Chains A and B, each alone.
Chain A
Amino acid sequence: MAVQLTVNGQVLNVDVDPSTPLLYVLRNDALVNSAKYGCGAGQCGACAVLVDNQVVLSCTLSVGSVKGNVKTLESFESDRTLSALNKAFIAEQAVQCGYCISGMMIRAKTLLDKNKHPSVQQIKEVLQGHLCRCGTHTRIIKAVQRASKELVA
């Protein structure tokens, strides 16, 4: 069955069972790397992407139910907030293995889009559902803070 999807502005027609999790269509048909398989159960946040600028966990969302535009980290250059986050994560070296980081950045974007001056507490709250195993949390918080400063500068 054909499913039509818009990913980072590109229209994509895929012959796939509509119950397929969005994640696999993104990774294997839209050739997206950023959304990662971590748990398949919406428990870790590694697969987070945006649908109409809302965070969705693409490992549990069926592709057939996606009605809006999908945006992933790959589009960072055309997105002011993601671009600032990209620079900030490099500047803070807020990565160890980095497998969880794309999901963190997607989530942080939605925070920064509505809150120009998030507190550490607010950053922690919004990232609460995202797991990191390397213990990079403190740097991730600093990177989000840095991006927020750059965005208002």
Chain B
Amino acid sequence: MNNSSNIARRHFLQNSFGLAIGFAWAPALLAQAPAALPGSLNANPKLDSWLHIQPDGKVVVLAGKVEFGQGITTALIQIVADELEINMSRIVMIPTTTGRSPNEGVTSGSQSIEYGGLALRYAAADARELLLERASSKLGTPVSDLKIQDGEIIAAGRTTSYWTLADSELFQRQVSAKVPLKKRHTTIGQSIERVDIPAKVSGGPAYVQDMKMPGMLHARVIRPPAPRAVILSVDAGPIEKMLGVVAVIQNGSFLAVVAQREEQAIRAQEVLKKNTKWKLASDLPASQSAWFRRMKQMPTVDTTIGVKEAQVRPATTVLSAQFTKPFIAHGSIGPSCAVALMKDGGITVWTHSQGMYPLRADLIKTLGLPADKIICIHKEGSGMYGQSGADDVALDAMLVARALPGKPIRLQWMREDEFKWEPYGSAMIINMQASLDQEGSIVDWKHELWSNTHSTRPGEPTGDNLLASWYLEKPFKASPVKNIPQPAGGSDRNAIPLYVFPNQKVVNHLLDDMPVRVSALRTLGAYANVFAIESMMDDLAKAAKSDPVQFRLKHLQDPRARDVITHVSKMADWKKGSLASRKNGKLYGRGIAFAKYKNLSVYVATIADVEIDPKSGKISVTNLFAAADGGLTINPDGFKNQIEGGLVQTMSWTLYESVPFNQEGIQVSSWAEYPILRFSDVPNVQVEIINRENEKSLGVGEGSQGPGCAAIANAVANALGQRIFDLPLTSERVKIAIEHSRHVS
């Protein structure tokens, strides 16, 4: 390997690195707030907003966090059953419904266990204690002498039960959150089979797409050829004569068609698409690379975070690099769908949105109806991985339903609608600069990023974030751009390194203008930030002639972070030195990466092995290893499923994905233009969990995206002897890199 080839786009400077301290930084002043309750109890402190005990021996659980295949329903059942000491089969989960379920905002950010799960755990503990107190006075036995067995409360020779003791008044009180949580677990920590799976593998009705109601009509939307286009004219004449067509609905530049049968609606959509003339805005950038060139010239809101300053030994080596990540699509396999019904002056929508209450907040604005006239009921859809078209299609269906009272309307987006109109994960540019001292320790670290926001979800105080609202006759405006603040962060999520450096600074340049619509994609900015940080760590280790594992451990103090790295090294039998090799004309490499998601949730370390064909440039990932620590594990198999899935999904993002567009519009309407990972690409995946019974349960769902990407990128850099700084790591980029190294050497 040629060392100089590793600095294709870099400048090595000697002893000249100094931080520009031109900013004022003060720690956030913590306002005097009332003592916080655990998790989602703050917004929903009443016990009966979470739990009801029924005389028939059932426990009704209300939750605001929704299922989309991540297994949260099962995990919440486990938590309640464990704390209440009942069999899981007694629990009835109510689909999240506005006006009935607790308002837990959006189901996102790997927060369902940390917030919703924790709230339910304390609620169930309070419930258990209240029931024990009642049993104690009824049986005349002190609480300490009572035993619980699946809801039966047993004293010496006498029994009562939750089902006879509970009444409607008992839970009409605030959750104290002071009852000690159980230390010995029954269902928590078990790999309980998920409750949502049987219907999904037997053709049962499992999704909003499967809903059927008497008299249900089918609707489709005719979307513009490109964002911000407006309708000039619609010739609906031929449509109205088509078999089965019930109505054409137009409101400004929102256009939909309704038919008795689904295929009739689809045919009418196709014809109407041809018969509608649009005035185009043509304000999209010419390409992804054109957008990258523009990003740094745009107005930004800048914030500086994570600053540390100290006197250190002088730097001897400075590395700097620019990393990029393009727009990435969520690409649900099932296009978004909703069923809506207007009746008696109110509208109900069945939706796979991630947040019933935030969705309703924007629907109130768009539809001009009071909160109690809009009911949002969660019904699972296809996996979303962030904000897909789920919220938007709910409004689409309701706009149609409002025009046809009494008729249930099922509206599903077509594949092309989903690809062109879902909000993508933001493109990002990250500039990194770091320096080493004589002893190979990092003494300075600077991380500077440019990005659009990573969340334009519904539910903001001002503005309306539902797609169709911007196209109505009286159009709404989207909410002002903002970043999710630290410590979770948005575009700067995971930008503050967990490594310990004496000097560091992170600058977040948040772009205001958003020509390409974006919103939350699994991990928000963390995916690209971890890619950049962990790439730098590897290149710094190389410059310091240090082993990547040892180099990371040297800069990490958090013992749990160190443990996952050590653990994965053992799993993969990591050996110092001699990682890259060449055999039978193929290049082989191995890479490691680490992150603690959001610096708040699960710890994940990953190792990737790759094989590269230098002729075709094809990267094959052969192995992905991960060690993960999510504190007290609720469901080990569910945890593993999320980490495994995240690794495979991030591999697809990392090797293949970028949304194509030009000034005329988004240039993807089918899977042919947006290739993703297929079975032939699937590596051997091994995941191990470090369970910590005495630590709080951490969110795990997004933990492997960032480290999975970075481990692959590091393995590729290791195999090639030089780094590819731009995602995705396509075969073209591999070939260019190989060509470049030939010229250099």
Report which A residues bind B (CB closer than 8 A): 16-17, 20-21, 24, 27-28, 31-34, 36-41, 43-44, 46, 72-74, 76, 85-86, 89-90, 93, 95-102, 105, 123-125, 127-128, 130-139, 141
Q: Inside 8 A of A138's CB, which chain B residues have their CB? A: 644, 648, 682, 684-685
Give the complex CA separation of A15 and B203 in angstroms: 24
Q: Are B262 and A27 in contact (CB under 8 A)?
A: yes
B254 in contact (CB, < 8 A): no
**Choice from A21, A89, A128, A134 contacting B649 with Cβ under 8 Å:** A134
| Cβ contact of B671, chosen from A36, A44, A76, A127, cutoff 8 A | A44
A97, B670: Cβ atoms under 8 Å? no
Least CB distance, B441 to chain A, in whole angstroms: 37
Interface residues on B, range: 35 or more
The stretch of B204-212, B452-460, B587-595, B724-732 in contact with A is B204-212
- Those of B420-467 within 8 Å (CB) of chain A: none
B641 touches A128 (CB 8 A): no
A96 x B69 contact (CB < 8 A):
yes
B202-A86 in contact (CB<8A): yes
Q: How far is the CA of A128 from the CA of B194 in the complex (A)?
A: 27
Are B334 and A46 in touch, CB under 8 angstroms? yes
Give the Cβ gap from B75 to chain A, nearest Cβ, in Å: 13
Q: Are A21 and B203 in contact (CB under 8 A)?
A: no
Residues of A within 8 A of B333 (CB): 36, 38, 44, 46, 97, 99-100, 131-133
Judge if B45 is at the interface, Cβ distance under 8 Å: no
- Separation of A137 and B333 alpha carbons in the complex (Å): 14
Chain B residues near A76 (CB-CB < 8 A) = 202-203
B194 contacts A93, C-beta separation under 8 Å: yes
The 0/1 profile, CB within 8 Å of A marked 1, for residues 635-670 of chain B is 001100110111111011000000000000000001
Residue numbers in A under 8 Å from B203 (CB-CB): 32-34, 72-74, 76, 102
Is B680's beta carbon under 8 Å from chain A? yes
- Majority secondary structure, A binding face: loop
A residues less than 8 Å from B194 (CB atoms): 93, 95
Which residues of chain B are within 8 angstroms of A37 by Cβ–Cβ distance? Answer: 209, 334-335, 412
CA distance A74 to B204 in the complex (A): 8
Given A33-B206, A37-B412, A43-B672, check contact A128 B193 (CB 8 Å).
Answer: no
A152 to chain B, nearest CB (A): 21
- Which of B209, B212, B334, B651 is A31 in contact with, Cβ under 8 Å? B212
Q: How far is the CA of A99 from the CA of B680 in the complex (A)?
A: 20
Q: Shortest 10 CB-CB distances between A and B: which pairs?
A: A135-B648, A97-B69, A97-B383, A98-B200, A34-B203, A135-B645, A74-B203, A99-B382, A135-B649, A124-B679
Interface: B197 (CB within 8 A): yes
Given contacts A16-B261, A86-B201, A93-B193, 8 further A-B contacts (CB under 8 A): A20-B263, A33-B204, A37-B209, A90-B201, A93-B638, A93-B641, A98-B200, A124-B682
Say whether, besides A33-B210, A37-B334, A97-B68, A135 and B197 are in contact (CB < 8 Å).
no
A selection of 12 A-B contacts at a CB cut-off of 8 Å is A28-B212, A36-B334, A72-B203, A96-B641, A97-B382, A99-B334, A102-B203, A132-B333, A133-B330, A133-B331, A135-B646, A138-B684
Measured CB to CB, the nearest residue on chain B to A135 is B648
**Given the contacts A17-B263, A98-B201, A137 and B648 also touching, CB distance less than 8 Å:** yes
B196 within 8 A of A: yes
Say yes or no: is B49 at the interface (Cβ < 8 Å to chain A). Answer: no
Chain A residues with CB below 8 A from B414, complex form: 40
Asked if B249 CB lies within 8 Å of chain A CBs, one says no
Residues of A within 8 A of B672 (CB): 41, 43
**Which one, B193, B205, B647, contacts A135 given CB within 8 A?**
B647
Residues on B with beta carbons closer than 8 Å to the beta carbon of A40: 266, 414-415
Inter-subunit contact A96/B383 (CB<8 Å):
yes
Known: A24-B261, A38-B415, A97-B383. A128 touches B69 (CB 8 A): no
Known: A98-B197, A137-B679. A41 touches B670 (CB 8 A): yes
Selected from B261, B383, B642, B648, the residue in CB contact (under 8 A) with A99 is B383
Chain B contacts with A in 183-219, Cβ cutoff 8 A: 191, 193-194, 196-198, 200-207, 209-210, 212
Verify B202–A131 contact, CB threshold 8 A: no
* A-facing residues in B243-292 (Cβ within 8 Å): 243, 261-263, 266
Structural contact, A39 and B645, CB atoms closer than 8 A: no
A33 to B644, CA, bound (A): 27
Which of A36, A99, A133 touches B676 (beta carbons < 8 Å)?
A133
A110 to chain B, nearest CB (A): 15
B385 close to A (CB within 8 Å): yes
For residues 678 through 693 of chain B, which have their beta carbon under 8 Å from a beta carbon of chain A?
678-680, 682, 684-685
Docked Cα-Cα span, A58 to B219, in Å, equals 20
Task: Please measure, in the bound complex, the distance between the C-alpha atom of A95 and the C-alpha atom of B197, giving whole angstroms.
Answer: 7
B523 within 8 A of partner (CB):
no
Contact status A134-B200, CB under 8 Å:
no
| A8-B644 Cα distance, complex, nearest whole Å | 35
Checking A41, A74, A137 against B202 with a beta-carbon cut-off of 8 angstroms, the contacting residue is: A74
**Separation in Å of the A60 CB from the closest CB of chain B?**
12
CA of A144 to CA of B114 in the docked complex: distance in angstroms?
34
| Most chain A CB neighbours (cut-off 10 Å) among B196, B201, B334, B670 | B201
B637 touches A131 (CB 8 A): no
In the bound complex, residues from chain A placing their C-beta under 8 Å from that of B678 are 128, 131
Q: A31's closest neighbor in chain B, by CB?
A: B212
Q: Give the complex CA separation of A36 and B333 in angstroms.
A: 9
Chain A residues in 8 Å Cβ range of B330: 133
B698 to chain A, nearest CB (A): 19
* Complex contacts, A73 vs chain B, CB 8 Å: 201-203
* Chain B residue, CB-CB nearest to A87: B201
The residue that B644 contacts in the complex, of A36, A85, A95, A139, with Cβ under 8 A, is A139
A70 to chain B, nearest CB (A): 13
Contact A134 B69 (CB under 8 A): yes
Specify which chain A residues have a CB less than 8 angstroms from the CB of B210 in the assembled complex: 33
B70 within 8 A of partner (CB): yes
Tell yes or no: B87 within 8 A of A by CB. Answer: no
Smallest beta-carbon distance B222→chain A, Å:
16
Closest to A100 in B: B333
A62 smallest CB distance to B (angstroms): 10
Q: In the bound complex, do residue A98 and residue B331 qualify as a contact, i.e. CB atoms below 8 Å apart?
A: no
Given contact pairs A37-B335, A46-B333, A95-B69, A134 touches B645 in the complex (Cβ within 8 A): yes
